[in-house]
Structure 1
Amino acid sequence: MKKLSLLVAVVLMTPAAFAHQAGDILVRGGAVAVSPTTDTSDKLDVQSNTQLGLTLSYMVTDNWGVELLAATPFSHDVNLGGSEVANVKHLPPSLMAQYYFGDAQSKVRPYVGAGINYTFFFDEEGRGVLAGTDVEADDSWGLAAQAGIDMDINDNWFVNGSVWYMDIDTDVKTAAGTFDTGIDPIGLMVGLGYRF
């Protein structure tokens, strides 16, 4: 905590420089922890996973931007009644419209975003009692929202932290039946960014 406080103090005391202004391209990378908030009457429990996340943003104005979220594939163990029954992999690319608070000289830029998510599932695999059987999860379209903050280190580098919510609903088809599953994960990303 002391290190974070020191970093914020240093960032706020550095000379003013233009940060996040119209025409800038922002690339962020870091760890993304995805924690599903599974909603299903059939007691399917989708486990959390952490992967490498990457975002690419374009500043349309000093305060408005668009962002595309990408990541290495997430892999989730799926439990039913306390026992593992499947593993699924997915990619959840999301396109967001963002609003950045402050102005182009601000060294700290909080932001919020809203947009759309497309999640496609692949390499579904039955485990435990479903080992050797077919498992299939339908792709999903849904809304997405985010809140985050960028803190400048220097003219090009900045620290980033953000929280995401994605509406992901899928039918999981197995030999034991079809399960209508709302995964609806919360994602937490912490990393570094570079401004072009």
Structure 2
Amino acid sequence: MRTALLTAAVLSALAAPAMAHDAGDFIFRFGAATVAPNESSDVVADIGEFGIDSNTQLGLNFAYMVSDHFGVELLAATPFSHTVSLPGLGDIAKLKHLPPTLMAQYYFGNGNLRPYVGAGVNTTIFFDEKFTNDLDGALTDLSVDTSVGLAAQVGVDYQFGSNWLVNASVWYIDIGTDVDFKLAGDAVSISTDVDPWVYMVSLGYKF
């Protein structure tokens, strides 16, 4: 009788879904993150709008589970580098940025597969702005303002083993900035929306 009860208890425990994330867990994820701008801007010198290419870097995020279903996450990365172009002129500038993003998240389910959604705020800091084609000295003094905007996210974790997981996630980030420079000595400011989709595939560790 005791053996039968013990066997039943073990089988019941094995059949019960394991909670992939519990209140108090810290989760560290690292992988490839791609920023794909969905850009638009004011027309520049009657030529056209800015174009901004995509870039992939090492993405990092750190999450803390406030409860079994609610978490907070900070997105970080190595600096993204983008080339800026204009129609008919090709590449005219390069810049880098860091996009720290703080998210509040809700995780669905209670097993090893945990889809989630998130919303939060992003700060994008631009630096190392420089013209690569200054049109024989006509373009000078390039700078790009820091942006603060909202962000939304969907993602999914799949835990394997006791601590490891794989993750796929997508963000949409509202990035709006002013691109300031001088054109033939005259100050110009171009309102620019970057508004990228950010895609990340990563490996995670829970502790």
TM-score w.r.t. the length of structure 1 is 0.88
Residue ranges of structure 1 left out of the alignment (5+ in a row): 1-12
Structure 2 vs 1, CA of residues 14 and 36 (structure 1 numbering), >3 Å: closer, same or farther?
farther
**1:32-181 correspondence runs (5 A):** 32-42=33-43, 43-82=49-88, 83-103=90-110, 106-129=111-134, 133-176=140-183, 177-181=188-192
Aligned length: 182
1:17-60, Cα deviation, whole Å (9 max, x unpaired):
33111000010000001100002132101111000000000000
Give the aligned partner of residue 192 of structure 1. 203
- Contact preservation (8 Å) 1:130, 1:175: no
Q: 1:165, 1:32 → 2: CA distance?
A: 13
SS in 2 for 1:121: strand
Q: 2:135, 2:202 → 1: CA distance?
A: 38
Amino acid at match of 1:23: G
Q: 1:169, 1:32 → 2: CA distance?
A: 20
Q: 1:33, 1:52 → 2: CA distance?
A: 9
Query: Computing the radius of gyration over CA atoms, which structure comes out larger, 1 or 2?
Result: 2
1:61-87, Cα deviation, whole Å (9 max, x unpaired):
000000000000000100011411111
CA offset at residue 159 of structure 1?
0.5
- Contact preservation (8 Å) 1:25, 1:58: yes
CA offset at residue 129 of structure 1?
2.8
Q: 1:56, 1:14 → 2: CA distance?
A: 30
Give the aligned partner of residue 183 of structure 1. 194
Q: 1:95, 1:146 → 2: CA distance?
A: 11
CA offset at residue 15 of structure 1?
7.6
RMSD: 1.7
1:118-174, Cα deviation, whole Å (9 max, x unpaired):
011111011113577221000010000100000112110001000011100010112
% identical aligned pairs: 54
